[in-house]
Structure 1
Amino acid sequence: MSQRDLAQDDPLADFTALHMTIEGVEKRVWVAGDGLGVIVMAEMPGISPHVARFARWVRDAGFRVYMPSLFGRDGAVADAESGAETFRRACISAEFRALGGGTSSPVARWLMGLARLAHDECGGAGVGAVGMCFTGNFALTMMLEPAVRAPVLCQPSLPLDNPAGIEIAPDELAAVARRMELEDLNALGLRFAGDPFCRAERFAAYRAALGDRFTARVVPDDAANPATPSFFARHVPAPHSVVTVHLVDEAGSPTLAARDEILAFLRAQLGPNA
């Protein structure tokens, strides 16, 4: 994959923009690659060049990537002000449940429908789902859809007001846990050690609910890239985004190793065709 300037807006020219209507709601989905399907959900404040870089890594690993536009301006390097406004709008949107915990965001249902479409198109045993930050726990909720077999939770940050909370209804979490045990499936979670938005208490809650089916990877804070766009510099000053903004793209980097673990996890969970 050729190097791109991550400080400049990304035109996403190597993706195809599709408008998909699921349960009466239309959203734009950026699609690229061939192979088994993987849903890549952007972190706040949207599909940035860093998020697109990660999606390309997944594509180049042999998967067909589906990257839905859930908030923000697609491909943009959001400045501190516009990124904060995107965050505020998402927090009050009926599609998301940013506060409280113990309930699932309504948009997860739309994402389950996207997973079904991706599975129908790509075949195989199922699809993967990678959530980040605001969308991190969506990957777990999507396990209520049988097509989803490989959930990756990168620094899941909701609910914002309860470090030990999980953004999923208790009965749904129990159903996911039962399915993972019956089908011998696992979930992978990643976070930085000192992340104030995804603290150790949250991963402990996942472990309590899912047991050994939840694999936690905690990356040391000193492995984070200190050079970040203005939105992160002002609003997310601590290490947070393991495989996007705070990733160090150098051999031997713990964050690059985290990316490679995600790709290996997707291959293992989705079967021999991955």
Structure 2
Amino acid sequence: MSELDSWALSEFDDGTHKFPVYRKGEGPGVIVVHEIPGLTDKVLAFGQEVVDAGFTVLMPSLFGTPGRPKTGLYTLASIGRLCVRSEFTKIALRRTSPVADWLRALARTTHDELGGPGVGALGMCFTGGFALAMLADAPVVAPVLAQPSVPFPFGRARGAALDLSAADLTAVKAKTAAGCPVLGLRFTGDPVVGTRFDTLRQELGDKFIAVEFPGKQHSTLTEHRQQEGVERVLAFFRERLTT
């Protein structure tokens, strides 16, 4: 039996894009967006931990093969395919990835169904900044950025950029100024995160909560899992979604 078999599968269509969504659990809604190369077994295992903590988890499959374990060749192939897909920005500055509109619509639909103060959103690696983009124009009250890595850090400007348009950054800053914190996780020596945490501190001030680990590894919640990081994320969701 595959780990995916215990998750309910549907498709969500916002009128522009349509992607599969895996769902499981009860309680407030949390949208977990996978990293490169896709919705791997370790991303599924993390999603199950969020379910076990008392949440309804929705995991879109935006690219890759759901349930397929991560390998080097699979990762390279996924990067190659992403490079030609227009739903995602890769190196553009001051632009929000178009897929953020689909994720925002999913967040609105989830909140309409489940109610509560809002929904949680977590992105990883290539999708790390998507949770911030969702905060700009969706009922997201618990955004988590795990090792945000887009735009690809080619040069100083891209290494510091947030994968947000100027209008979306303004909206994010207004929401954080009104009281919504943003949680970020990374290894301090991770080169693909660039200097984004410095930018987040500059733009969001004390509303940006950084959880940082020594070393040059990358995937804080999956491949290079840090238990403290997992616990901080779950505590953040409980604080923001259940009180």
Could you tell me the TM-score, scaled by structure 1's length?
A: 0.84
Q: Does 1:174 align with 2:170?
A: yes
The answer (yes or no) to whether the contact 1:101–1:158 under 8 Å persists in 2 is: no
1:11, CA displacement in angstroms?
Answer: 4.0
Match of 1:239 among 206, 217, 239: 217
Task: Pick which of 81-90 and 208-217 moved more.
Answer: 81-90
The answer (yes or no) to whether the contact 1:127–1:148 under 8 Å persists in 2 is: yes
1:105, CA displacement in angstroms?
Answer: 0.2
Query: Residue 154 of structure 1 aligns to which amino acid in structure 2?
Result: A
CA distance in 2 between counterparts of 1:90 and 1:59 reads 29
RMSD over equivalenced CA pairs, Å: 1.3
SS in 1 for 2:75: helix
CA distance in 2 between counterparts of 1:208 and 1:92 reads 32
Equivalence for 2:103: 111
The answer (yes or no) to whether the contact 1:10–1:49 under 8 Å persists in 2 is: no
1:260, CA displacement in angstroms?
Answer: 0.4
1:94-123 deviation line (CA, Å, top 9, x unaligned) = 000011331100000000000011111211
The size of the alignment, in residue pairs, is 239
Give 1:189-200 correspondences, 5 Å limit.
189-199=184-194
Unaligned 5+ residue runs, structure 2? none
1:26, CA displacement in angstroms?
Answer: 1.7
Identity of paired residues, percent? Answer: 41
1:165, CA displacement in angstroms?
Answer: 1.4
Query: Residue 269 of structure 1 aligns to which amino acid in structure 2?
Result: R
The answer (yes or no) to whether the contact 2:26–2:51 under 8 Å persists in 1 is: yes
The answer (yes or no) to whether the contact 2:25–2:57 under 8 Å persists in 1 is: yes
Could you tell me the TM-score, scaled by structure 2's length?
A: 0.95
Give 1:3-18 correspondences, 5 Å limit.
10-18=2-10
Equivalence for 1:72: 64
Equivalence for 1:256: 227
The answer (yes or no) to whether the contact 1:35–1:63 under 8 Å persists in 2 is: yes
SS in 1 for 2:96: coil
SS in 2 for 1:197: helix
Q: Does 1:208 align with 2:186?
A: no
CA distance in 1 between counterparts of 2:45 and 2:113 reads 23
SS in 2 for 1:40: strand
CA distance in 2 between counterparts of 1:243 and 1:146 reads 24
1:58, CA displacement in angstroms?
Answer: 0.5
Poorly superposed stretches of 4+, deviation over 6 Å: none
Query: Residue 197 of structure 1 aligns to which amino acid in structure 2?
Result: V
1:10, CA displacement in angstroms?
Answer: 4.6
Unaligned 5+ residue runs, structure 1? 1-8, 222-237, 248-254
Task: Pick which of 189-198 and 72-81 moved more.
Answer: 72-81
1:75, CA displacement in angstroms?
Answer: 0.4
